[in-house]
């Protein structure tokens, strides 16, 4: 029997982690969401007796301590695997290249705030809040869901010069993961930054501008991987990510790996 906690579990990849992990009834799955009352997630969780909805916001340290305490009450104080998946971005500034970013302190801070709060500060608060449980767990694994958009070779080969705050935040996340891996290795704790691939998590019909942006991105990504057909499903991404998490050991701890389990193929 294993226990898993996932932040940002209300939709997309986070909710798919919950779904696939809950399919094994021996697992205890702690879905950390900002709004457990939301019908989308409460009706979904109702279907699984081994899923526990816990209120927690990755950008709010106090709420994470409360979430960890609620998790401990369910599991008896332990946790095997923590998956920090929450993410937020400023959509309007995403198309901007670095030289187009606001040339004023407040304007720049505003567009970096969401990705930094979820990936960087949220990564630290989530990890530190749940660390006492992980120390007592059997698997001792911490995974931060990162992105290949922070990988320099992929940026160069694809020519993706936009999405600067998001990519910078994920690059920072990768460094934090390496630091945690070094610090926690003597305790047998493994820490991984994991890129889930290019995943279709859009809910409902995509508006024309989104379809257009995806077409343009596909062409850029095909410069890196010519056989790429498009986005993969959450089901495929999470199935592969769970295999990588299963194999995580002291040797791979501290790295950024793709859903393929390597640092060479990102898409």
Ligand X SMILES: NC(=O)c1ccc[n+]([C@@H]2O[C@H](COP(=O)([O-])OP(=O)(O)OC[C@H]3O[C@@H](n4cnc5c(N)ncnc54)[C@H](OP(=O)(O)O)[C@@H]3O)[C@@H](O)[C@H]2O)c1
Whole-number Å distance between alpha carbons of 23 and 12? 17
- 166 given a catalytic annotation: yes
Please name every residue paired with 232 in a beta bridge, in sequence order, or none if there are none: 199
Of 85, 139, 158, 167, the one binding ligand X by CB under 6 A: 85
Of 3, 4, 5, 12, the one binding ligand X by CB under 6 A: 12
Q: The tokens 């991987």 sit on which residue?
A: 225
- Span of 81-89, 100-108, 184-192, 222-230 interacting with ligand X by CB under 6 A: 81-89
Q: Does 58 bind ligand X (CB under 6 A)?
A: yes
| Active-site residue (options: 4, 166, 180, 190) | 166
- Span of 150-158, 194-202, 214-222, 256-264 interacting with ligand X by CB under 6 A: 194-202
CA 32 vs CA 97, 104, 141, 229: distances in Å: 34, 35, 17, 33
Q: Does 57 bind ligand X (CB under 6 A)?
A: yes
| Listed residue (71, 84, 264, 266) closest to 191, CA to CA | 84
- 219 given a catalytic annotation: no
The residue among 37 and 251 lying less far from ligand X, judged by its C-beta, is 37
6 token code pair: 């996932």
Q: Does 145 bind ligand X (CB under 6 A)?
A: yes
- 11 given a catalytic annotation: no
Q: Does 13 bind ligand X (CB under 6 A)?
A: yes
Whole-number Å distance between alpha carbons of 101 and 186? 42
The 86-105 site mask, x for binding ligand X (CB under 6 A), equals: xxx-----------------
Per DSSP, the residues of 219-237 read HHHHTT-TT--SPEEHHHH
Judge whether 141 and 177 are in contact, CB under 8 Å. no
Q: Does 118 bind ligand X (CB under 6 A)?
A: yes
113 token code pair: 């705030």
Whole-number Å distance between alpha carbons of 12 and 2? 22
Return the active site residues. Answer: 147, 166, 170
Query: Which residues of the shown chain bind ligand X in the complex (CB under 6 A)?
Result: 8-14, 33-34, 57-59, 85-88, 114, 118, 145, 147, 195-196, 198-199, 201
């Amino acid at each position: 029997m294993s226990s898993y906690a996932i932040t940002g579990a209300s939709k997309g990849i986070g909710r798919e982690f919950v779904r696939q992990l809950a399919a094994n009834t021996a697992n205890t799955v702690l879905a950390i969401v900002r709004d457990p009352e939301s019908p989308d997630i409460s009706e979904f969780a109702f279907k699984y007796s081994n899923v526990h909805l816990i209120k927690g916001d990755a950008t709010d340290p106090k709420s994470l301590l409360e979430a960890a305490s609620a998790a401990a009450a369910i599991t008896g104080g332990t946790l095997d695997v923590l998956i920090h998946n929450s993410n937020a971005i400023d959509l309007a500034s995403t198309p901007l290249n670095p030289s187009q970013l606001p040339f004023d302190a407040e304007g720049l801070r505003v567009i970096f705030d969401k990705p930094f709060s979820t990936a960087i500060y949220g990564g630290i608060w989530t990890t530190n809040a749940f660390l006492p449980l992980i120390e007592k767990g059997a698997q001792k694994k911490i995974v931060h869901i990162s992105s290949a958009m922070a990988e320099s070779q992929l940026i160069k080969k694809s020519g993706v010069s936009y999405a600067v705050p998001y990519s910078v935040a994920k690059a920072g996340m990768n460094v934090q993961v390496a630091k945690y891996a070094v610090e926690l290795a003597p305790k047998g704790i493994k820490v991984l930054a994991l890129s889930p691939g290019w995943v279709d998590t859009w809910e409902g019909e995509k508006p024309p501008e989104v379809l257009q942006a995806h077409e343009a991105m596909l062409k850029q990504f095909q410069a890196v991987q010519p056989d790429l057909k498009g986005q993969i499903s959450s089901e495929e991404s999470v199935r592969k990510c769970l295999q990588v998490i299963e194999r995580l050991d002291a040797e791979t701890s501290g790295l950024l790996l793709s859903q393929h389990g390597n640092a060479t193929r990102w898409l």
